[in-house]
Amino acid sequence: MTSTRKNLWQRFDGPLKVGISFAIIGIVLTIVGIFRDPTTPITVWSLTVGSLISGVVWGLVSWAIATAAVEVEADVQQAQEAENTPELSKQEDDSN
């Protein structure tokens, strides 16, 4: 069972791993906050709704930021490759 989890985790891309990690952090912080706040009733409903809201928000926002960062890096790399390609063509033309 551990190898299945490990294989599943390895199949995820970087932004998805970031999103899942931050969702778990958000859920843990919500549960800790519910237990530490004396005015919040500790019920299954409050734990479920609080965990669901914080997990989805933290996970979705962090996934979106990580995805944007990966796409920007890919665009920058593609632009740098495109910049280098014409220079090689110019050098070949100059040698002729």
pLDDT given for residue 16 in this prediction: 92
- Domains in the chain, number: 1
pLDDT given for residue 54 in this prediction: 95
pLDDT given for residue 89 in this prediction: 53
Chain-centroid distance of CA 53 in Å reads: 17
* Spatial distance between the Cα atoms of 92 and 90, rounded to a whole number of angstroms: 5
Domain range for 66: 2-95
**Cα within 13 Å of Cα(28), Cβ side:** 6
pLDDT given for residue 91 in this prediction: 55
Per-residue pLDDT of the chain (96 residues; tens, 9 = 90+): 566 767 887 888 889 999 999 999 999 999 999 999 888 888 999 899 999 999 999 999 999 999 999 999 988 888 888 888 765 555 555 555
pLDDT given for residue 61 in this prediction: 97
